[in-house]
Structure 1
Amino acid sequence: MSTKRHQGLTTRLLHADRLQPIEHGAVHKPLHLAAAYSYPSSRDLAAVFQGDKPGYVYARQGNPTGAALEQKVTLLEEARATAVFSTGMAAIGAIAAALLKAGDHVVTSQFLFGNTNSLMQTLQGLGIEVSFVDATDVAKVEAALRPTTRIVFTETIANPRTQVADLAGIGELCAARGLLYVVDSTLTTPVLFKPKDVQAGFVVHSLTKAIGGHGDAMGGAVVDTGLFDWARYPNILPPYRKGDAAGWGMLQLRKKGLRDFGATLRPEDAHRIAAGAETLALRMARVCDNALQLARWLDGQPQIDRVHYPGLSSHAEHERAAALFKGGFGGLLSFELKAGLDCFDFLDALQLVIVSSHLADNRTLAIPVAHTIFYEMGAERRAAMGIADGLVRLSVGIEDADDLKADFEQALARVS
Structure 2
Amino acid sequence: MSEKTSYGFTTTILHSDRQKPIEHGSLHKPLHTSVTYGYEDARQLASVFQGREPGFRYGRQGNPTISALEEKVTRMEGGVASICFATGMGAIGAVFQALLKAGDHVVSSSFLFGNTNSLWQTVAGQGVGVAFVDATDVANVEAALTSATRIVFVETIANPRTQVADLARIGQLCRERGILYVVDNTMTTPYLFQPRSVGAGLVVNALTKAIGGHGNALGGSLTDTGVFDWSTYPNIAPNYKKNAPAMWGMVQLRAKALRDFGASLGPEAAHHIAVGAETLALRMERASANALAIAAMLEADERVAAVHYPGLPSHAQHGVARELFRAFGSLFSFELKEGIDCFDYLNRLQIGISASNLGDTRTLVIPVAHTIFFEMGAERRASMGIAESLIRVSVGIEDAADLLADFEGALP
Q: TM-score, normalised by structure 2?
A: 0.99
Query: Structure 1 counterpart of 2:382, which letter?
Result: A
Query: Structure 2 counterpart of 1:386, which letter?
Result: G
CA RMSD of aligned residues (A): 0.7
Query: Structure 1 counterpart of 2:374, which letter?
Result: Y
**TM-superposition CA deviations, 1:281-339 (whole Å, max 9, x none):** 0000001110111111111112111100000000000001000101x100110000011
Matches within 5 A, 1:289-368: 289-326=289-326, 328-368=327-367
Query: Does the 8 Å contact 2:3/2:19 carry over to 1?
Result: no
Matches within 5 A, 1:384-403: 384-403=383-402
Question: 1:21 matched to which residue of 2?
Answer: 21
* 1:137 and 2:131 are equivalent in the alignment: no
* 1:199 and 2:199 are equivalent in the alignment: yes
Q: Distance in 1 between matches of 2:64 and 2:45?
A: 16
How much has 1:5 moved relative to structure 2? Answer: 4.1
Query: Does the 8 Å contact 2:91/2:204 carry over to 1?
Result: yes
Question: 2:102 matched to which residue of 1?
Answer: 102
How much has 1:83 moved relative to structure 2? Answer: 0.2
Query: Structure 1 counterpart of 2:347, which letter?
Result: D
User: Tell me, which stretches of 5 or more residues in structure 1 are unaligned?
Assistant: none
Q: Distance in 1 between matches of 2:259 and 2:243?
A: 20
* 1:189 and 2:189 are equivalent in the alignment: yes
How much has 1:243 moved relative to structure 2? Answer: 2.7
Q: Distance in 2 between matches of 1:402 and 1:23?
A: 44
Question: 2:215 matched to which residue of 1?
Answer: 215
Secondary structure of 1:208's counterpart equals coil
Query: Structure 2 counterpart of 1:37, which letter?
Result: Y
**TM-superposition CA deviations, 1:143-202 (whole Å, max 9, x none):** 000011000000000010000000001000000000000000000001110000000000
Once the two structures are overlaid, the 10-residue window that deviates more, 277-286 or 294-303, is 294-303
Q: Distance in 1 between matches of 2:148 and 2:344?
A: 49
Q: Distance in 1 between matches of 2:207 and 2:191?
A: 14
Secondary structure of 1:360's counterpart equals coil
Q: TM-score, normalised by structure 1?
A: 0.98
How much has 1:3 moved relative to structure 2? Answer: 4.7
Question: 1:111 matched to which residue of 2?
Answer: 111
Q: Distance in 2 between matches of 1:150 and 1:243?
A: 22
Aligned-pair identity in percent equals 65
How much has 1:274 moved relative to structure 2? Answer: 0.2
Q: Distance in 2 between matches of 1:118 and 1:2?
A: 45
Q: Distance in 2 between matches of 1:61 and 1:33?
A: 13
Q: Distance in 2 between matches of 1:2 and 1:271?
A: 24
**TM-superposition CA deviations, 1:47-94 (whole Å, max 9, x none):** 111100100110001111100000100000111000000000000001
Q: Distance in 2 between matches of 1:195 and 1:179?
A: 15
How much has 1:2 moved relative to structure 2? Answer: 3.2
Q: Distance in 2 between matches of 1:350 and 1:4?
A: 49
How many residues are paired up? Answer: 412
Question: 1:51 matched to which residue of 2?
Answer: 51
Secondary structure of 2:205's counterpart equals strand
Q: Distance in 2 between matches of 1:390 and 1:317?
A: 22
Once the two structures are overlaid, the 10-residue window that deviates more, 133-142 or 17-26, is 17-26
Q: Distance in 2 between matches of 1:135 and 1:4?
A: 38
How much has 1:205 moved relative to structure 2? Answer: 0.3
How much has 1:4 moved relative to structure 2? Answer: 5.4
Once the two structures are overlaid, the 10-residue window that deviates more, 74-83 or 19-28, is 19-28
User: Tell me, which stretches of 5 or more residues in structure 2 are unaligned?
Assistant: none
Q: Distance in 2 between matches of 1:324 and 1:317?
A: 11
**TM-superposition CA deviations, 1:93-120 (whole Å, max 9, x none):** 0111000001100000111110000000
